Amino acid sequence: MSASRERQEAEAVLEDIERLALRAPSRAEFFDEAAARLKRALPFDGACWHTLDPGSDLITQHRLQDLPDRFPVLADNEYATQDVNKFEQLAHARCKAATLTEATEGRPDRSPRFRDLLTPAGLGPELRSAFVCDGAAWGALILVRRAGAPEFGSEDVRLLDRASAVFARAVRRGLVVEACSGSVHVADAPGVIELDAAGEVLRASSSAEPLLAELSGTTPGAGARAPVVHAVASATRDIVTSGAPLGGRTMPSAAVRSAAGSWLVLHGALHGESSRGEVAVFIQRAHPTVIAPLLLEAYGLTPREHQVAQLLLRGATTAQCAAALAISPHTVADHLKSIFEKTDARTRGELSAKVFFGEHLPRIQRAVPIGDDASFIDAPRPRGAQDVDWAHEGAAAGHPG
């Protein structure tokens, strides 16, 4: 196949996967169907898909395709062994995909993973990628070929790098869909509202009703008529009915303060046939780190103070803030003084309490279960988390193994 034909096939596969990401009913089905599409442009003999906790980069689930299950060996390599192309490393790299051969400068036998995991299984070439969107890693993929098969090439790496955000959004959407359709009832679980082309509600999940009532301050019906619901639905409909390639376009989302004073997040998704203009709007309680930027704005922080405050709220030290923002620790200290004055906080703990605790405490008191993304099940990880190296270095120190 010519290079031009290969690029055309890769573009077609990427577009196909983008559409699949909007309509696959679960992560498992997305992984299976995405693998079949990938093979058209990127042949492989086995695959392992992972869901990652975006707060710590820990693997929470994995799905194998034509591979033996040796997860203990993989986990030991990922978290307790020095090696190349770790998921955490790829998540923070400019390119979100890499081959084992390139990372070892043509000597894959230098890699413990090659010696302990791939070779015993009769495997050779390996291509890995991390699924990153809005600065957070939601999943990862390992593709392998049999020993002696051709190595993965630069076009293969480029395809997975370009697909990184698409895969991340698919995992994130899958977590919400699965929570909405779960058989076990969880108070305040995410809800879904399905609307027709005219904006009329076709149906709503039972978990959506209390959130819609909270949104309006009166009834679920009034909540379904709220302007934010129809703004998200209309923006989503414009995208899915435009006929233009979806490319890297992200579905619309909005954070809104309800009549009850709580924060909710709504985001759109494809529903039914796009030609009919049917769309879905997911509604869920906002994770505190989604709301933090909005609350900080109310205190009148400068853009740089805003950056420093968000790093502090995620546990950074003064030195880590300075390194992340390429400023001096002395400058960070000056920003801290201004932040404390504007927010009327005397310590980092007080600042955190002002921004986070009002959202966290009710969940703790109600003993809200933890979902498979390691966050409260009624508040999947934020869409706007920032990519900060120090946060993951701190989390890695606590990895098991």
Given CATH 1.10.10.10, say whether it is the number of domain 289-374: yes
Range among 56-70, 108-122, 132-146, 225-239 rated most confident: 108-122
Per-residue pLDDT tens for 84-106? 999 988 998 999 999 999 999 99
Mean pLDDT over 207-227 rounds to: 90
The residue behind tokens 């108070």 is 187
DSSP per-residue codes, 208-227:
HHHHHHHHHSS-HHHHHT-H
Question: What single-letter amino acid sits at 84?
Answer: V
pLDDT of 390 above 50: no
pLDDT of 185 above 60: no
Nearest alpha carbon to residue 344 among 353, 357, 334: 353
Alpha-carbon distance 249 to 165, whole Å? 10
Higher pLDDT residue, 388 or 14? 14
Whether the domain at 187-286 and the domain at 289-374 fall into the same CATH topology: no
Mean pLDDT over 48-60 rounds to: 72
Alpha-carbon distance 277 to 233, whole Å? 10
- Mean pLDDT (the chain, rounded): 79
Quickly name the fold that domain 187-286 has.
Beta-Lactamase (3.30.450)
Identify the pLDDT of residue 147: 96
Residues facing residue 144 across a β-bridge: 46, 126
Alpha-carbon distance 115 to 378, whole Å? 42
Which residue ranges make up each domain of the chain? 3-179, 187-286, 289-374
Six-digit token string for 163: 């697909």
Identify the pLDDT of residue 396: 29
Identify the pLDDT of residue 61: 74
pLDDT of 401 above 60: no
Architecture of domain 3-179: 2-Layer Sandwich (3.30)
Higher pLDDT residue, 302 or 176? 302
Mean pLDDT over 107-129 rounds to: 96
Six-digit token string for 271: 């529903």
- Which 8-state DSSP code applies to residue 109? G
Identify the pLDDT of residue 57: 62
Phi-psi category of residue 183: left, alpha or beta, with phi > 0 → left and psi -120 to 50 → alpha = alpha
